[in-house]
Amino acid sequence: MTPTLSLRLRLTLLWCAVSLVVLVGLELLSLAVLNAQLNGAVDGDLALVARQYQAEVGGAAGQAELYQRAHDFLAQDVDAGKGFSAVYAVTLQDGTVLTNTQDARLLDAMATARPGQAAPVTLHDPAVGDVRVAAIPIVENGNQVGVFRIALPLEGIQATVSAHLTPLLMGNAVLIALGGLLAYAVTGHALAPVRRITATAASISEGDLSRRIGYRGPRDEVGHLAETFDAMLGRLQGGFEQRQAFYALASHELRTPLTIVRGHLEVLRRMERPATEEVRETLDISLEEIDRITDEINDMLLLGRMLLGQNGPLAVVDAAAVLADGPRPSSSAGPCSTWSPTRCGTRGRTTRSAWSAGAGASGPSSRSPTRATASAPPTCPTCSTPGTAPASGTAASAASA
C-alpha cells in the first residue's frame, strides 16, 4: 500500500499553500501599486522638466538662438542618466542633436519615441533596460522646428522596488512558517477526538465493548462523530450482551431435558433384560423430553426473531388455555388468588412468543405460552369483577400485552 501523509500534515500543507498564494497575491498587488506610484512620480518629474525647458528655451528668435538656449539648458545637468537624473535630447530641424549624455544606445532608444503622444511611454530596450520617455515637439510660429525628448532610466526605480521585495519575501517566509506551526497545532487539537476514536477502536476486543470516547468538546462535526461512535459501541455492547444471555438461556434450558433423556437411556442400557414396560416408559419419557426440547428450540428461534424486530404471524387461540398453561398466581394476587382461568370464557387474538420475552433471561417455559390480547374483558365468577386477572405470571403478561 502506498504510504500517504497524515490528515493533520495535509491540512497544514494546504494552509501553507493557501497562505503562500494569498501573500504572493498581496505582494504582487503591492508591487503593482508601488510601480504605479513610482511611474506617476517619474511622469511628474518629466512634466516638470518639460515646463522648465519651455520656460528657458521657448521664445527663441531663430535657429541659432534656439541652439544656444538649448545648449545652455542641457549644460545645467551634468549627472544625466545617473540614479534618478533625466537624460535630455533636443533634435533640431537640420538633424542636429543636442544632449547631455554620450550613451549612443540610450539615444537610439529615445529616438523611437514619437512626439504628439498624450503621456510618457516606457521603452523596453535589451541594451539599456527600461526607459521612461516623453517626446515634446518644438514649435515656433506654428511650425515644428524640432523635438525635445526627456528620458529617465528606470534602473534606479527597479532597484528600489527590488530592495523592498527582499524583506517582503523574507517576512512572508516567516509568516508562512509561523502559520504552518499554528495550523499544525490547531489541527492536532481538532483531530484529537479522531485519534481517540482510532485508539478506542483498536483496543476493543471481542469480550470488552465497554470503552467509550467520552468527548467533551464543542458539538461540531468531530463531536458528532465521537457521539455517533459511542452510540454505535453502546448498540454493539447491547447486542453482545443479548447474545451472551441467549447462549446462557439456550444452554440452561436444553441441559435439563438432555440430561433426563441421557439418564433414562443409561439406566436402560445397564439392564441385561429390560422389561417391555420399562422400555416403553423410557421411550415415552424420551419422546416427551424431545418434544420439550423442540418447543424450547422453537421458543428460542422466536425470541431471536423478536430481538431482531421480526414478529411472527398472529393467530386466534383460547386465552383460557393459554393462561392455564403458565405458572399459577401467588397468594398475594388478591381475592382471585385461587382463580382458575378456565372459568372465564375469554378468547383472544394472540401471537406465539417466548416466555422469556417479558421476563428477561429467566428462560422459556416448556409449553410455549402465548401473548394474548383479549377481545372482551373477562368476568371472574369468584369475585364477579369484570376484567380481574392474576397480577403475576402468565396472566399478567397476557393482560398487559
Q: Could you tell me which residues come within 8 angstroms of residue 73 by beta carbon, excluding any fewer than 6 positions away?
A: 52, 53, 56, 57, 88
* Pairing mode, strands 347-352 and 314-318: antiparallel
CATH topology of domain 192-310: Helix Hairpins (1.10.287)
Other beta carbons within 10 Å of 28: 10
β-sheet with 129-140: strand ranges across: 97-99, 87-92, 143-153, 129-140, 121-125
Query: What is the rounded average pLDDT of the residues 240-251?
Result: 83
Which residue, among 66, 88, 82, 213, has the nearest Cα to 149 in the 3D structure? 88
Domain locations along the chain: 7-176, 192-310, 314-328+341-400
pLDDT at res. 325 = 62
Whether 100 contacts 110, CB under 8 Å: no
* Distance from C-alpha of 75 to C-alpha of 401, rounded to nearest angstrom: 118
* Class at the top of the CATH hierarchy for domain 7-176: alpha beta
> In the structure grid, which three cell numbers stand for residue 26, read together?
498581496
Higher pLDDT, 377 or 261: 261
pLDDT at res. 392 = 38
pLDDT at res. 182 = 93
Which residues partner with 125 through β-bridges?
Answer: 129
* Distance from C-alpha of 138 to C-alpha of 317, rounded to nearest angstrom: 123
Angle at which helix 7-57 crosses helix 155-190, to 10 degrees, equals: 160
Alpha carbon 359 to chain centroid, angstroms: 45
Angle at which helix 276-307 crosses helix 221-270, to 10 degrees, equals: 180
* Distance from C-alpha of 136 to C-alpha of 115, rounded to nearest angstrom: 5
- In angstroms, the Cα distances linking 101 to 86, 112, 113, 152 are 10, 17, 17, 12
* Distance from C-alpha of 85 to C-alpha of 79, rounded to nearest angstrom: 6
* Distance from C-alpha of 303 to C-alpha of 355, rounded to nearest angstrom: 9
* Pairing mode, strands 347-352 and 370-374: antiparallel
pLDDT at res. 365 = 40
pLDDT at res. 184 = 92
Give the least confident one: 41-50, 158-167, 205-214, 291-300.
205-214
pLDDT of 106 above 50? yes
Query: What is the rounded average pLDDT of the residues 303-316?
Result: 71
Query: What is the rounded average pLDDT of the residues 25-51?
Result: 82
Q: pLDDT tens-digit profile of 265-299? A: 888 888 888 888 888 888 888 898 898 888 888 88
Whether 99 contacts 89, CB under 8 Å: yes
Whether 146 contacts 94, CB under 8 Å: no
* Distance from C-alpha of 175 to C-alpha of 149, rounded to nearest angstrom: 46
> In the structure grid, which three cell numbers stand for residue 212, read together?
467509550
Do 7-176 and 192-310 share a fold? no
* Residue 129 banded pLDDT, cuts 50, 70, 90: confident
* Distance from C-alpha of 353 to C-alpha of 371, rounded to nearest angstrom: 6
Residue with the three cell numbers 388478591: 334
* Distance from C-alpha of 101 to C-alpha of 49, rounded to nearest angstrom: 16
Whether 249 contacts 363, CB under 8 Å: yes
Alpha carbon 91 to chain centroid, angstroms: 72
Q: pLDDT tens-digit profile of 341-369? A: 444 444 443 444 444 443 343 444 433 33
pLDDT at res. 375 = 39
pLDDT of 223 above 70? yes
User: How does DSSP assign 340-395, residue by residue?
Assistant: -GGGS--EEEEEE--GGGTTTTS---TT--EEEEESS--B-TTT--BT---SSHHH
Helix extents (H) in 205-327? 221-270, 276-307, 319-324
Element containing residue 55 per DSSP (H, E): helix 7-57
Q: Which amino acid is at 74?
A: L
